[in-house]
Amino acid sequence: MRRETKLIHQISGCGETGAISTPIYQTSTFVQDAPGVNRGYDYARSNNPTRAALESLIAELEGGSNGYAFASGLAAVDAVVKLLSAGDHIVAVDDIYGGSYRSFTHIYEKLGIEVSYVDTSDPVNVAEAIRENTKLVWLESPTNPTLKVSDISAICEIAHRRNALVVVDNTFASPILQRPIEFGADIIIHSATKYLAGHSDVIAGLVVTKTPELGEQIKFVQNATGGILGPFDSWLTIRGIETADLRVRKQSESALKIARWLQSQPEVDIVNYPGLVTHPNHEVAKKQQEAFGGVISFSLVDDTQDAAIEFVTKTELFQLAESLGGVKSLLCHPATMTHKSTPREHRLQAGIHESTVRLSVGIEAAEDLIEDLQNTFVSLQKSEPCLEKA
């Protein structure tokens, strides 16, 4: 069965009533027939049928053995880091999601877990950073917001030779475009808040493991620490996933058109999009992704925060907000929004310029989105005649 068919038919509704949609089991506990004798469910922190349906769906989509649903992407990150002990070490991608960076530096380092950050788009950097006590290599590919791409299979080979597991935060690509377990990854994380749920209406996180043994360990943390996804949010996430294939392909198609258009604009300096042949990791992206996703970032020739802020407040279809992956197009200014707490030096080093703008392309007509960007450039020229090129 092909993936887009599985998306729809993996989950059945309710056998008893014929309901075609997965029921929402809004219950905290389950009646037992005798002490310890239940019908597969005993207490809803441990397991809930609606959540279980989502968990098996994501495991299937990622090609893993087990899936687990959490209250947010960061709760999923947290559950994975809790596999480690004090004295363990993580090698992480340097432009890691800000929230993951915050929990690594302000929570886990305090508990004795060390983290080294390297540019994982060159696997040699990973090889050099791995130590005796390295337990995890933590990747995101593509990254946020500069869309760097890392060679997942090359890094898995390096990490496994040194007995480290590879975790891939697959939020930006989604399993529609990239399934890291096929390239050797051990654990997959999602902020399902983004492409999987896809409608900017729920916060959710998912973990998928390659093996049942790792699955058992995540399951233990999930039950022991309790950061589970509730039944209604599980249902919303399932409903989102059912249309993920349509949405993500359309978003990728539109994003490629928009990225090419941006490249030809005189106001635009650098365009970061893995689908462009000019992207430094384009070949690797082509090897491991089916398409290039719905996020683009670009900087302006007038590389100032003021120019970018004017731009992001003037678009009409692209709405100014954090987050990405939904049906409505969004844009943001990383230097003053998502990466505000990243020190300026660190930010510039990671390729996030003063004027970098991040677009999350929705499912509107690409032509309308391009018109919106074009109108914004025109209105900026009008409002700042002194900046007009001679």
Ligand X SMILES: *Cc1c(COP(=O)(O)O)cnc(C)c1O
Exactly one of 45, 249, 257, 286 is catalytic; which is it? Answer: 45
> What distance in Å separates the CA atoms of residue 89 and residue 358, rounded to the nearest whole number?
31
| Contact positions with ligand X (CB under 6 A) in 330-359 | none
> What distance in Å separates the CA atoms of residue 79 and residue 92, rounded to the nearest whole number?
16
SS3 107: helix
Exactly one of 151, 169, 245, 372 is catalytic; which is it? Answer: 169
Q: What is the bridge-based pairing of β-strands 66-70 and 89-93?
A: unpaired
The angle at the Cα of 248, spanning 242 to 254, to the nearest 5 degrees, equals: 145
- The packing angle between helices 366-383 and 244-263, to 10°, is 40
- Whichever of 148 and 372 has its CB closer to ligand X, that residue is 148
Q: 């992207």: which residue's tokens?
A: 279
Kindly state the smallest distance separating residue 93's Cβ from ligand X, in Å. Answer: 10
Kindly state the tokens that stand for 137.
């290599």
| Contact positions with ligand X (CB under 6 A) in 180-239 | 191, 193-194, 203, 205
Kindly state the smallest distance separating residue 76's Cβ from ligand X, in Å. Answer: 8
Kindly state the smallest distance separating residue 144's Cβ from ligand X, in Å. Answer: 5
Distance between first and last Cα of the chain: 59
DSSP string, 150-197: --HHHHHHHHHHTT-EEEEE-TTTHHHH--GGGGT-SEEEEETTTTTT
168 is a contact residue toward ligand X (CB under 6 A): no
- Whichever of 92 and 268 has its CB closer to ligand X, that residue is 92
Determine phi and psi for 349, rounding to 5 degrees: -60, -35
Kindly state the tokens that stand for 314.
């003037």
Which of 78, 151, 169, 242 forms a contact with ligand X (CB under 6 A)? Answer: 169
Q: Considering only the stretches 49-57, 71-79, 207-215, 233-241, report the one whose residues sit in contact with ligand X under the rule CB under 6 A.
A: 71-79
Kindly state the smallest distance separating residue 177's Cβ from ligand X, in Å. Answer: 14
22 is a contact residue toward ligand X (CB under 6 A): no
Please indicate whether residue 43 is annotated as part of the active site: no
Kindly state the smallest distance separating residue 351's Cβ from ligand X, in Å. Answer: 16
144 is a contact residue toward ligand X (CB under 6 A): yes
Kindly state the tokens that stand for 268.
């635009």
Kindly state the smallest distance separating residue 276's Cβ from ligand X, in Å. Answer: 21
Please indicate whether residue 82 is annotated as part of the active site: no
- Let me know: does 190 contact 206? Beta carbons within 8 Å: yes
- Whichever of 144 and 146 has its CB closer to ligand X, that residue is 144
What number of CA atoms fall less than 13 Å from residue 228's CA on the CB side?
A: 23
Q: Considering only the stretches 59-67, 169-177, 178-186, 297-305, report the one whose residues sit in contact with ligand X under the rule CB under 6 A.
A: 169-177
Please indicate whether residue 2 is annotated as part of the active site: no
Q: What are 43's strand-pairing partners?
A: 29
> What distance in Å separates the CA atoms of residue 125 and residue 117, rounded to the nearest whole number?
10
171 is a contact residue toward ligand X (CB under 6 A): yes
x/- map, 247-276, ligand X, by CB under 6 A: ------------------------------
Kindly state the tokens that stand for 38.
């239940």
Q: Tell me the C-alpha to C-alpha distance, in Å, between residue 150 and each of 62, 141, 169, 209, 277.
A: 18, 6, 12, 20, 16
Kindly state the smallest distance separating residue 143's Cβ from ligand X, in Å. Answer: 8
Q: Considering only the stretches 70-78, 236-244, 258-266, 364-372, report the one whose residues sit in contact with ligand X under the rule CB under 6 A.
A: 70-78
- Whichever of 23 and 99 has its CB closer to ligand X, that residue is 99
99 is a contact residue toward ligand X (CB under 6 A): yes
142 is a contact residue toward ligand X (CB under 6 A): no
Neighbour-count burial for 225-245, b at 16+ CB within 10 Å, e otherwise: eebbbbbebbbbbbbbbbbbb
Please indicate whether residue 195 is annotated as part of the active site: no
The alpha carbon dihedral of 193, 198, 201, 207 has a sign of negative
Considering only CA atoms, which of 150, 154, 153, 175 is closest in space to residue 92?
A: 150
Report the residue number whose CB is nearest to ligand X.
Answer: 73
97 is a contact residue toward ligand X (CB under 6 A): yes
| Contact positions with ligand X (CB under 6 A) in 316-335 | none
Kindly state the smallest distance separating residue 365's Cβ from ligand X, in Å. Answer: 25
Contacts with ligand X by CB under 6 A lie at 72-74, 97, 99-100, 140, 144, 169, 171-172, 191, 193-194, 203, 205
Active site residues: 45, 97, 169, 194
